[in-house]
Structures are given as structure tokens and as C-alpha cells.
Amino acid sequence: MTKNKTAMPSILIALGGNALNVVETPSTSLKEEFNVAYKSVANIVDLIEEGYSKIVLTHGNGPQVGRVFLQQELTKNEFPRQTTLDVCVADTQGRIGYALQNVFANICKERKIDKKAYTVVTQVLVDANDQAFKNPTKPVGSFYSEEEAKKLAAERGWIVKQEGKKGYRRVVPSPVPIDIIEKDIFKTFVKNNLIAIGGGGGGIPVVLNAKGVLEGVDAVIDKDRTSALLANEIGIDVFVILTEADYVCLKFHTPEERALKNVTVDELEKYYNAGEFPAGSMGPKVEAAINFLRNGGKRAIIANLFHLKDALAGKTGTQISL
């Protein structure tokens, strides 16, 4: 039974990779993916019991889209390869959206809550002339050793880059999102207190071709950038980015490390411009929070996935204000 509360803010929750990712082994089953999703979604259903009714979920797909694309590459000699990254993103939106809405419905049924979630296959407009197409930087898929990465680069024409001590990953273009094609659907969902799942993996990247027709492109858009844009376009009050970290930190992984608990957007932007947040980890999340607040948002939070309720109550996580 949900609590009778009024004037609760609308929220968009961007789920990080740890909310969905299962370490795959030969014995890994699809059931394990649903078990991971269940733990993540249970925290969101907690909010419904607190009285929140206007909720939009977005999610990443980095590991999943990389695996889908690799499957295509590995079978290209057996079957004609027809899948580019835009279609791979669409595939993962369906798979992950299914898992999320399935466990959401089951949890609500267990708790006797009359709510369901609905997945929106989401296209996101980008500029065909975006410089990202000339300088791929977005990591996708699995980590490889230096030897494996060089072999894959030579055999498949991939661009690979080292990502810290974890190893090497394939990198692809990551253009800036300009518009959410299905934004009106999300507005309708929010207006009617329906739970929407969308913007998966940053959305399916599309451009307007010379004939003014939408056309998919071979790229992956940053999930947090798309989430911030979607939140602004549909008038969301609070933007929550969930990740593995409890807080955004200055001097990360140094003896001078310091957690940012309460910070204004002006202060955070100064730290961002000073290079405090690495591009491959916290940087895009901080950038997205800044963009959301600069474009009409009221409050942004970056917090640990499993501390969602406390983060919204201001008890944990990096709280970013105007």
C-alpha cells in the first residue's frame, strides 16, 4: 500500500551498469540477469511506497551492446552481418526493458501495489557532423588483454584503447544527443503517473539524412547525457544518477580524497572544468548533472544504487543544488 503523500516531485533515475550487469561465464543463465534486475528495481518500488508516482527509468547497456556486436562479428562468416550499433542498441533496449518491467510488475504484485512499468524503444537525434564520428571515445563491450585487443583491432578494424588497469576495450563514436524523438510519449506517461523505462543505452542514435528522414548511425550515445536531456525535455524535477560510488569525490584515489556531499552547480562546474573527474568514469555523470540543472532542472543527485531512498531524503549521495 502506498503512503498518501502529495506534491512529490517527478524523478528520472538513471541506472548504472552495476544495476543490470551479470558477469558472464559458461554457466551463467538468463535467470541471473533477472535476479540482478530484481535487486535494483526493488529500491525503486520502495519509492512508490513512499508516495512517488511520477518516475522515469533510464539504463546503461555498455556490456550488453558490446556482447551483441561481438556475436555479430563472430558469426559473420556463417550469416550475413546486418546489425550495426544502432540496431544493437535497439536489441538491448528490448532485452533490458523486458527484464526491468517484468521484475517491476512482480515486485508490485508481491507488495500489492497497483503499478506497472512500460518500456519505450527510444530514438535519440544526433548531428551527422558531430566531431565524435572522427574521434571515437566511448568504450563498449568486454575488457581484453593488450594482445587480444591488438588482434581484434587488426582482424575487425576496431579502435581499441586502454582503460586504466582493467585492460583494453573497443571504443566507438559517442555523439552529443540533440533531441529525444519519443519525448511526447514520456510526457504522457509522467502526466498519467505511469512508470516509463526508456533511453536505454543512451538511446538509438539517429540522424536526419538529406531527405529529412531519420536514419540510424553506427554510434553509442552516453547514457547520462541522454538521461539529462530527456529529464529536461519532459520537465522532470529531480535527476538521480545511480552508480557504484557513494559520492562524487575530489582527488579520487589519492591520500587527499574528499567526498562532495552538498555542492552547488557552480562549485561542481568549477571542479569539472579543473579536470577533477575522469572522462572514463565520473566525468560524464557530473557533466550530465550540470547540464540538467543549467537547463531547468531543480535538483540532481549522484549516489550509490542501493542507497536510493536515503539519497532522495538527502541523507547520502552527492546532493547538487542551484
Instruction: Enumerate the active-site residues.
Output: 17-18, 138, 223, 285
Q: How many angstroms separate the CA atoms of 255 and 258, rounded? A: 9
* Percentage helix, strand, coil for the chain under 3-state DSSP, each rounded to 5: 40, 20, 40
| Other CB atoms within 10 A of residue 134 CB | 8
Burial class of residue 219, CB neighbours in 10 A (0-12, 13-18, 19+): buried
| Grid cell at residue 38 | 530484481
SS3 201: helix
- Cα 198 from chain centre: 10
Cell 540482478 belongs to residue: 36
Length of the chain counted residue by residue: 322
- What phi and psi values does residue 197 have, to the nearest 5 degrees? -115, 125
Q: How many angstroms separate the CA atoms of 315 and 13, rounded? A: 17
- Cβ atoms of residues 220 and 199 within 8 Å: no
SS3 124: strand
Cell 566511448 belongs to residue: 138
Distances (CA, A) of 221 to 82, 89, 100, 218: 20, 10, 21, 10
Q: Encode 21-40: b = buried (16+ Cβ within 10 Å), e = exposed.
A: ebeeeeeeeeeebbebbbeb
Residue type (1 letter), 202 = G
